[in-house]
Structure 1
């Protein structure tokens, strides 16, 4: 595919087919695009593109449509990510502004992504294993009760009230707060749990029962939920909007979406940068007629989880890629502010 003109022809076929949902002929290409060559030359280019597997003819006397290989070439070499309009950026910001916690951020994100792309949106909950400790507070209550507050980099806030074996002194609590902060702040949750456990032996034996109760509760708080195995899905009704050529694919796509393990696998592969998987690249027979566009998101440039969309291979790749990237950026900011 060293011929730039043939690449231009392929780009035109992809764009027209996505727009019209109809096979594209040489005459349409001449009328809609300024390719600077005759219809006969374009027909020759289309034959070459078909021979190389980038386009195909769905039935006799019809125009051509892109193959998965053609879409891949389009995404890799021809697509320019579209800039979001002011209205689209405002919609994302409006949707996410005022989110009260992580659950709220995720649910809002999946709704706005489905609306922007008219596809099925998937958002993975922030991974606890990748989150770090942002703040821990130890507050004395009445008697021997103590309130523990944990805030993670994913924006999750956990509170626990525990009844200690005896009432701790203020000096012990002050010392404990200092050592807990030193051992855990900025650490990923699994590492923070280990460091806190090692800290118990550094206290006076008489204080260790109290310290052990607090550290044990904190460790349980760190691992109380496998949130990295939770996902939110929205926009499944959009499957009905993809046109009659996608009708036969709706049922298997729905079956794949219902399998959370499948979605987690698809999203889990997008841990660095924007990822586009087309047709067989998804690794799932039920998704052969689809493309999955996904990327990671996080707070303070730290990847916490992933989000993306599932739609037909005949999709507006530049616009979808822009929407997925933009929502991921806004989600990261929202988590940082939560």
Structure 2
């Protein structure tokens, strides 16, 4: 059944009031607080239709109603107006992020900022190696048979590995190895690394091939095979402080799920790189793949320099959240992080 405009207004009012008050919403309160221009009896009839259609429910025998997951979904898709951030909020984001000195600092400032602004659990994925390119590679001699391999990506991510060489290697040979690798891999996407590394071994001078083969093996493990995706998390205390979970025992499985990195990566890491960054994706209640998170909603988006998405970020909170404000905050923070990465 297609809801007419008045019933949509009633649903919007119920969602907004329930988010604001944490209390089931009655018809008289809606008429008093919102300019619906109809009687409480008319609102009660509209609420009866909304309940029959599965958009709201009655949690107990009082007259009040609360939104269902289906009601929140309609609210997010068609009824919500994304709140523009105030000038003060924008300045707060800029001030908080401006002092970041490296990628680790950017990620940790971002996750703390998201948690503070939304009062939810914030999750930020480090730039994915699979979406990065090599900016520079350094070989630091530790001894004649051991090197420190340092790979710096275009997103500021730094990977370090110790390399045991097959035999003593003079400093001039280390310099030549460094130059060969940077010439071949510099600026290239990490997804192209396997073919490029194989070519490096073939093209190296015969005397350098054993060392290059060892370096190539470590490079492939570092850049391709490890898939070492990292996650930063902040704000789990927000779930316990806000008292937003209605059902006894629902919080513990949520907290346990948030301890699993594979769950967090699935929640915010699967962002499609399809050009311009779109509105954040919102998954509500039963739309979540993980059973333990079906009392929550997840708002997530990709971030990166320009139109290139290199990672995901977002928040996890109860289904009763301020969707317009949260969507605006997640989008604004992602855009600012992308600008920081572009400057670097």
TM-score bucket of the superposed structures, by smaller chain: 0.7 to 0.9
Change (3 A) 1:97 1:225: farther
Q: What's the CA shift for 1:293?
A: 0.8
Secondary structure at the aligned position of 1:314 is classed as coil
Change (3 A) 1:331 1:244: closer
Give me the TM-score of the superposition, normalised by structure 1: 0.87
Distance 1:98 1:142 in 2: 37
Change (3 A) 1:30 1:96: same
Q: Unpaired segments of 5 or more residues in structure 1? A: none
Distance 1:108 1:332 in 2: 14
Distance 2:145 2:317 in 1: 56
Map of 2:231 onto structure 1: 231
- Contact 2:122–2:235 (CA<8 Å) still a contact in 1? yes
Map of 2:80 onto structure 1: 79
Map of 1:54 onto structure 2: 55
Map of 2:314 onto structure 1: 308
Q: Unpaired segments of 5 or more residues in structure 2? A: none
Secondary structure at the aligned position of 2:272 is classed as coil
- Contact 1:137–1:148 (CA<8 Å) still a contact in 2? yes
Map of 1:185 onto structure 2: 186
Map of 1:127 onto structure 2: 128
Change (3 A) 1:140 1:247: same
Superposition RMSD in Å:
2.9
Map of 1:334 onto structure 2: 340
Distance 2:265 2:161 in 1: 30
Map of 1:94 onto structure 2: 95
List aligned pairs for 1:1-338, cutoff 5 A: 1-137=2-138, 149-158=150-159, 165-167=168-170, 169=172, 173=175, 180-222=181-223, 226-228=227-229, 230-243=230-243, 245-246=245-246, 248=248, 249-271=250-272, 273=278, 274-338=280-344
Give me the TM-score of the superposition, normalised by structure 2: 0.85
Secondary structure at the aligned position of 1:299 is classed as coil
- Contact 1:123–1:307 (CA<8 Å) still a contact in 2? yes
Q: What's the CA shift for 1:19?
A: 0.6
Secondary structure at the aligned position of 1:23 is classed as coil
Secondary structure at the aligned position of 1:53 is classed as coil
Distance 1:89 1:52 in 2: 39
Change (3 A) 1:173 1:41: same
Change (3 A) 1:139 1:33: same
- Mean Cα deviation higher: 230-239 or 109-118: 230-239
Cα displacement string for residues 73-114 of structure 1 (whole angstroms, at most 9, x for unaligned residues):
000101121111222222222222232332222211111110
Change (3 A) 1:227 1:89: farther
Distance 2:3 2:244 in 1: 35
- Mean Cα deviation higher: 132-141 or 179-188: 132-141
